[in-house]
Structure 1
């Protein structure tokens, strides 16, 4: 395997190599290092078995102390869920660059518990590392695991690091609070932003809808449109369940018209959301028309239609659809 990889790497070092362009030089690493076969091999690596074959080549050529190789090795070990080996590379390194810390934090967030990830995040703070973007991995973990205290600590550190006006960063915070069912905290972060993009609006709208505040999510869509932003498929998919739960058939029809004008009806997930909304509003016939026109129906759309008939007492049609689906 190693000989095959070396042969591939030799071919990849020509001036016109596509891979060479992905290895843009960095200030603290000599440019010639990026052209070394070992660097190319690491870019081509697809498994931990291949990585173990490449490491001796890195060491033999005296490249193990280069930050490029150290960071890449940590990244690959994390990618292959081997935090133990990533740590063995990381810990002995003196004068660790910030990028190396970020790589390790991402590995903890993706492959370990939120407590381990948060512990490493605190270490980064103690070591004076300027956290730029990888806090998003921690926030995602906090949201998924409802570890609220850690999420608030990360939020506080983000403010201290000057990210309070960063739309992308604060959208991640809003999403974290949404997942932790702290919708009031999410809204407080949302309203403080000097500017809000569509992703940020969709996040708070979905948060209200998913936490049982359907009416408020509908109001926010209207507010968003008043501020000049057009709803996209994500907005539509977020708001239609809320409209259905409230039984707002008139509002649902207005959204349906917007979907048709925008061409979003061709998207399977949007069409499925429309079917679900109409069924919840008791309009089975309209929901069935949309369902019948859908191409590429999936398990979700079939189940929604079958359940819609069952919930409305038409068990015969529900059974008929079930038989068509399994048939």
Structure 2
């Protein structure tokens, strides 16, 4: 193509090669290279760089070897650094070692320009001691090499070594400080990262988006809202106040610090948002118990044309699980299938949890069985699902299979399996698992584990053993633990231990009405109405009110919420009429109202009326009227199902031949043909 032009000189040839390199046309570049009458080291380096830049390691090595055979060429540091960087990027450590040998042979080992890529290559490959040897043998080191070595030490987890090296530096730049702040944050040393950020600011060094992103992550990890706000104020005075990376980090920090409204303000002010930004606010809503807002923000995200990734979709599915919103969750399942992100383990795990929390345990098991790869979260989600459904044998069997597969259970896994033992009355099995959790798996118990053991013993009627267990605990139970013991004292009508638990709960949380309400239930069950009246007066004097029980059911994308004696629903007349008819049929079948569930000293007829209008019964009646017969009726309640409602729902399921699924504060109850999946043990 150049036959009609004057013969170019070497500089012109190299200029042409450089032009093809910049355009990315490496094949034509090689053709030109072959036509060159003479080549120098620049020519060879340009061709090597071309193939290296395109990731073609085979061609790069071929050209490199040809260059070595050309004895007339004087090698340069650019040649070796290019080949080392290529080896590092492609993960070819063996090639890198060969290049390292050539570097030593040809006397380039003292060049910092070559040493830094070597340090980086060895550290990326996990060969940190080889990297340190190269670093230590360098006669001179610049900031770049120090930063590379510090990064390498932080990558295998040698944070103290990296900090020592940082302190030894005679000169540090912004990259040095940012590297240390990032490393400290990533290694869980958030407080130290924040302290170093303060030191950096005092040095007056320029900070970039990575500096701010790392320190904000540290603030979020420590729930350090005050420090996070200070960093935010600092950012506001820089060019990075409108940076999308920094803005996303701010949203994440405020969400982690439970300042969701501040996160919303930052989010709304951002003129440019990406999938990371949207995911940050969505996850924040979910983590702060604003699950409905999380679902809404996901829909807004799609309207703006932002495609969710696996993490985003997994997060919104988790929010649906918290809402027990099976319909919306199933829609997101469909989206995961269409988009292909169902193959990501995070999405599959979220779906297993969703179906488990919505009572579709068969769908959870099907998804679990279809997964080609399962991690600890997958097994734990399935264990928890079975546990919530009262399938104790399946829970324990799955847990043992998990151990057989060589997977390590965590604290959440043990909460699931211990809860299953509790709900099935497997006291000795539960004891053994609790001991193995500590001795064999090295898991330190948290309040939830102790609560499981209190529940295990007291639910089985071993109240004295539960009391003894509590007295031997390293710390006093939390409010849930005391309330758990109180609930069992109510069931077994044990006033003595009930008073002890109530006083302990009252001391721990003076403004928690649970101590009054549960002890009142114990007195009521024993017919001690004077004591009930005194407790009620004590509540009034302190301005305490019992959390009202409510139940809800979803129909045609609308949630219908009911409270006891609720008549606000537009279909109240039909609902109460349905309940009257059901009550008549239940009495004919042998149903006897459980008066112990009524905590008021009133007449029998008034007690029956109160029982008939509990929130879950209203929700079930609504479902019987409007939910098609082929579908199960799904009801969610914020408190535990009372004994009378539990018994009544068994009769209703038999009379109507409908499946009724009730998710209360503790577990699932699947009522079918007059029986409940919990085996009347809840």
- Judging changes above 3 Å, is the alpha-carbon distance between structure 1 residues 281 and 109 closer, same or farther for their aligned structure 2 residues? closer
Q: Count residues in correspondence.
A: 302
Deviation at 1:205, TM superposition (A): 0.3
Higher deviation after alignment, 111-120 or 123-132: 111-120
- Judging changes above 3 Å, is the alpha-carbon distance between structure 1 residues 134 and 318 closer, same or farther for their aligned structure 2 residues? same
Distance in 2 between residues matched to 1:240 and 1:312, nearest whole Å: 20
Distance in 2 between residues matched to 1:308 and 1:162, nearest whole Å: 49
Deviations 1:55-86 (A, max 9, x none): 55333xxx24x433444455456553225522
Deviations 1:281-316 (A, max 9, x none): 112222222222222233322232232222122334
Higher deviation after alignment, 258-267 or 178-187: 258-267
Give the corresponding residue for 2:272. 195
Give the corresponding residue for 2:168. 89
Distance in 1 between residues matched to 2:136 and 2:308, nearest whole Å: 53
Q: In the alignment, does 2:234 pair up with 1:169?
A: no
Give the corresponding residue for 1:58. 138
Distance in 1 between residues matched to 2:375 and 2:147, nearest whole Å: 42
- Judging changes above 3 Å, is the alpha-carbon distance between structure 1 residues 326 and 175 closer, same or farther for their aligned structure 2 residues? same
Structure with the bigger RCO (C-alpha within 8 Å, sep 6+) is 1
Higher deviation after alignment, 40-49 or 288-297: 40-49
Distance in 1 between residues matched to 2:273 and 2:360, nearest whole Å: 35
- Using the size of structure 1 for normalisation, the TM-score is 0.79
Query: Which of the two has greater helix per residue?
Result: 1
Instruction: State which structure, 1 or 2, has the greater radius of gyration over its C-alpha atoms.
Output: 2
Q: CA RMSD in A?
A: 3.1
Deviation at 1:140, TM superposition (A): 1.4
Contact 2:213/2:245 (CA < 8 Å) preserved in 1? no
Give the corresponding residue for 1:19. 84
Contact 2:194/2:218 (CA < 8 Å) preserved in 1? no
Residue ranges of structure 1 left out of the alignment (5+ in a row): 1-10, 24-31
Alignment of 1:139-178 (within 5 A): 139-178=216-255
- Which of the numbers 198, 218, 242 marks the counterpart of 1:122? 198
Partner-residue secondary structure (3-state), 1:15: helix
Q: In the alignment, does 2:317 pair up with 1:317?
A: no
Higher deviation after alignment, 212-221 or 281-290: 281-290
Higher deviation after alignment, 117-126 or 249-258: 117-126
Higher deviation after alignment, 77-86 or 296-305: 77-86
- Judging changes above 3 Å, is the alpha-carbon distance between structure 1 residues 124 and 256 closer, same or farther for their aligned structure 2 residues? same
Distance in 2 between residues matched to 1:50 and 1:108, nearest whole Å: 23
Deviation at 1:124, TM superposition (A): 2.6
Alignment of 1:69-84 (within 5 A): 69-76=145-152, 80-81=158-159, 82-84=161-163
Deviations 1:103-156 (A, max 9, x none): 343355456854443333233323321101222221111111112222111111
Higher deviation after alignment, 75-84 or 305-314: 75-84
Give the corresponding residue for 1:267. 344
Query: Which of the two has greater strand per residue?
Result: 2
Distance in 1 between residues matched to 2:298 and 2:198, nearest whole Å: 38
Contact 2:132/2:149 (CA < 8 Å) preserved in 1? no
Distance in 2 between residues matched to 1:77 and 1:201, nearest whole Å: 33
